[in-house]
Structure 1
Amino acid sequence: MGGTFWDIFIFGENPHSSTIRESPGGSGLNVAYGLFLLGHTVDFYSNIGDDWRGKQIVELLEKASFDTSHMSTIQGGKTGIFIAHNDKPLAVDPGVNRKEMKLPSLSEYDLVFVTGEIPEKTIRKICENTKNVILDVGPGARFDTSDLNALVIGNERECSFRKCDVVKMGSKGARWGEVYVPGNGISYPHSIGLGDLFDIVFVHHLPLGKSKKEILEEAVKCSQILGQKENVTPFERISFLEPLSTKDDTLECPDESKDASHHGG
């Protein structure tokens, strides 16, 4: 559960030759959609406005057979908007993501993934009443995590002033406690959303009995491979995730040698 946004990305430096791409977005939705693509049964809880953006998001998700039944439409509410130029966020309007979420009992779920895009009060309720919670704090959250019953994930900046279990370090890799997996050292020009890819692969491998090192290696590798794809929104990049092997549940990320150009979203 987490945020749902309408993403607007502007790629290029010249106003008259720039590319504008729009798609559903938000870390909560991105991770939920990615796990759905990998074959997981996903119930996604999120607030969405009853404006045209909200209706468009629901329509696109339903066309992809993604279950939207747990997304709450707020009457008169505004769907969140995220605007970025290349790799720089320009403006974020959380819209109805600010509102508390109405949640049922979550005890039946094997795992609950939450993002810091939703209110702190809602997050604390989830952590107090649910087991196996993973929280990605994200850039907007300002609360302390030391007392939360959750596995906390964040990037280096987010974890510089709060307790985190897993630290995403961009081109330098990732750390889980004392376990460190190095990255390839390459800083990709369009890195927004690569943290969502990391989370998708991390959550996918977590229940499979793999070691911390193996889970980090898979998450770092996949986010770096898909980081090569430019001029796409995070949601579009996630659509490049390939189906699982039916034999061993191994995640197949697109080969690094394949063409990284956009083929739809």
Structure 2
Amino acid sequence: MIEVFENLSPVTQAFLATLFTWGMTAIGASLVFATKKINQRLLDSMLGFAGGVMIAASYWSLLSPAIDMSENHPIGSWFPAAFGFLFGGIFIFIMNKIVPHLHPNAKLNDAEGIKPKRLSRSTLLVFAVTLHNIPEGLAVGIAFGALATGNTEATLAGAIALALGIGIQNFPEGVAVSMPLRGEGMSRGKSFMYGQFSGMVEPFAAVLGAMAVAFFEPILSYALSFAAGAMIFVVAEEVIPGSQEKGNKDLASISLMVGFTIMMILDVALG
């Protein structure tokens, strides 16, 4: 199976990998067919776990390789990583101010971005998770696209480890979208469709990221760092606060530590 995967182009590899991450979002969303409500402690622990995975992936899969790739940079090996990281966070910050969206458990009046007109709560929820899935898709795409550059710091095993980690943390994201919609009375089918739809953006973002770095090798270290900064902003702005707002701070924090550790093991062992 791995040998077949190795013979594919990095763009195709990125697309297939993010079909997996999208599928994990769909599996999480499919819980609406089994129950109308999920235990809040379980949901908060899953969100904390997802945050830990994203933090670990941001360093081991993205920032660390970016620094290693920049050893000969005239300013210093730290510059591409620092610049790309901050730019990634600023990009998501700006998008948050523009795209109308609503975080799970928030009231409709608390919608962020340009004030929406006639947008339903369900649509705003999907916009929120879709917006924050873009950096995840980009991260996977850039990791696979880096293989086309021939850079020794880029490995297939490392890219696969990143895709596995993103897929694992996408499961609670699917739950976080579909369950609130089901709880508000939406049908199981529609709740599932909205929940899995939030992960649909990842294959498109992955292909874009893979093509960009495959054709423009000089931006590789910046692109890796950009994806890391975007992911860390999402974790700090939404995932961690969302996992603790119902009072389960200790459980969410421990789950974050577990998620971080598992992703670290995946990255070090496979990458």
TM-score above 0.5, yes or no? no
Q: Which has the higher strand share?
A: 1
TM-score (norm. length: structure 1): 0.27
TM-score (norm. length: structure 2): 0.26
Report which structure shows greater RCO (CA 8 Å, sep ≥6).
2
